[in-house]
Amino acid sequence: MVIALVLQVTLAFQDALPIADPIVRAAVQEAADIWAPYGLALKRAPACDRAAVDGLVLAVETVDRVPPGRAGVVLGEVAFRDGTPEPRVSLFLNALLDLIGDTRALSLAALQSPRVLRDLIVGRAVGRVLAHEIGHYILATRTHGTVGLMRSSQRSDELVAPSRAGFRLSAMEAAQILAR
């Protein structure tokens, strides 16, 4: 399914990210590739002049620890105020790195491989978590689907795998995008 471009979204990352720039670039590209079939064009705000960015801007921050009282593995969140999503995505980077650290793609052989491969794999996982959280914002919902991008639980092997097959919107979610 290909939908005409309907929305430009700029991701404004916090100034001092605890992850390398190649990982951030890979993450933004992964999230952009996931959302492109649904008419969203994602790009990273230039670090030098974020105020000059037009259109929808989502702030992206990394948080060391998941807030207390959250059940299960939490990799990111979008806060809601009065039922409306705030234009900020929080990524729980340590939780994500812990989750994917034991996957086959990040096994000892991968960890001994060139840094560019590790950065690509970690960037892919960060991008998929970011794409999921963008979905909460764009769809304006806290709820999760049972399959695809918006399911509540993502397996570590799927987060790092080359295939994006498990990171599509359901037909109902895609229709909601079209209705906007």
Long-range contacts at 160-169 (CB < 8 A, ≥ 24 apart):
160/100, 160/103, 160/105, 160/106, 160/121, 160/124, 160/125, 161/105, 162/124, 164/33, 164/34, 164/128, 167/34, 167/128, 167/131, 167/132, 168/34, 168/37, 169/38, 169/135
Residue 135 · residue 89 · CB < 8 Å: no
Query: Would you say the C-alpha torsion 37, 39, 40, 41 has a positive or negative sign?
Result: positive
Of the candidates 39, 54, 56, the one whose C-alpha atom is nearest the C-alpha of residue 5 is: 39
Domain annotation for the chain: domains and CATH numbers: 7-173 (3.40.390.10)
Q: What is the pLDDT along the chain (180 residues), one digit of tens a residue?
A: 555 556 889 999 886 667 888 999 999 999 999 999 999 999 998 765 545 556 688 899 888 777 766 667 889 999 999 999 999 999 998 889 888 887 766 555 555 667 888 889 899 999 999 999 999 999 999 999 999 999 999 888 899 999 999 999 999 999 988 776
